[in-house]
Structure 1
């Protein structure tokens, strides 16, 4: 793969991620879509396909940051660059990128489904820590359990989002790779 082809491949990956992330903004207008969004699938996708893994982390986390700023503005009419618990949220998405790079070395339906469930588990266990949100839940194991139980409907939406957007992103890129050789890695071109 030439440097030019790698740059073109990266541009395609970034455009796919940005287009998918735009769907995240719909949750502002349609509240039932809360957590039914592409961010988990985007994280897995970035981890799986960027040859330089740091580009996957940078693209995913920057996309998350930009859409967070936009969503915060839609809700508050103020620009807010950070929010309470953001560091844990970003850590969970960085771990999802890592999950994509580890579990999706071979992209197929089973691996994408397993990675999608793993991503939700990471999000659920990290972002629902009770001490992140003040006094909403007691800062005990029982409070953590309550927080986890209350989060289940949101995590269902996230798994549906991961599966739907995973199908679109991974399926779309795999299909594109069959038509455009410049999207394939050196290893794939040798096959």
Structure 2
């Protein structure tokens, strides 16, 4: 068995399945976006694949959902860059921190674009603060819980699921044989 092909295929399949999970009903903001970016960044040997394959999987799910968003893809790319730097060594504590960074980055970037590209807030520092404040207010309690908490919990859940699944698959599928 060609280990590199199998490992590559495993990473791609996990990313595609995670991206497609966006099309099934789920609590608002409980998505794998940050986790996919981090997982791709940590697992692909060719760093170009760390961006291309997760982005292609996101585009596939967005084609079904019908909601592609430049701020989402920008935050996705920046999360991947962070993952490339921070997850050179994958540990539980690094995964936890990177997952939190992904959630916070997503909030900051997407709300920045609401301010920058919109007319709801003045294009001043005070307008930006008002936009972020309103963004936090938007994350009030809902039927499923706090929406910002949903983002954090979604990133933590999917990060754990992707990295944990990959770890278990590696342990089983690529186990050294005894001669």
TM interval, short-chain normalised? 0.7 to 0.9
Structure 1 position 138 matched with structure 2 position 138: no
Counterpart residue number, 2:49: 55
Structure 1 position 16 matched with structure 2 position 14: yes
What SS does structure 2 have at the residue aligned with 1:135? coil
Deviation at 1:87, TM superposition (A): 2.9
Deviation at 1:61, TM superposition (A): 1.1
Count of aligned residue pairs for this structure pair = 165
What SS does structure 1 have at the residue aligned with 2:150? helix
Counterpart residue number, 1:148: 132
Counterpart residue number, 1:157: 150
User: How high is the TM-score relative to the length of structure 2?
Assistant: 0.82
Ranges in structure 2 where 5+ consecutive residues have no aligned partner = 140-146
Structure 1 position 91 matched with structure 2 position 91: no
Counterpart residue number, 2:62: 68
Distance between the aligned counterparts of 2:74 and 2:164, measured in 1?
26
Distance between the aligned counterparts of 1:114 and 1:155, measured in 2?
16
Distance between the aligned counterparts of 2:60 and 2:126, measured in 1?
35
Map 1:2-13 to 2 at 5 A: 4-13=2-11
Ranges in structure 1 where 5+ consecutive residues have no aligned partner = 74-81, 185-191
What SS does structure 1 have at the residue aligned with 2:66? helix
User: How high is the TM-score relative to the length of structure 1?
Assistant: 0.77
Report which of the two has the higher share of helix: 1
CA-atom RMSD in angstroms: 2.1
Runs (4+) off by over 4 Å? none
Counterpart residue number, 2:97: 114
Deviation at 1:121, TM superposition (A): 2.3
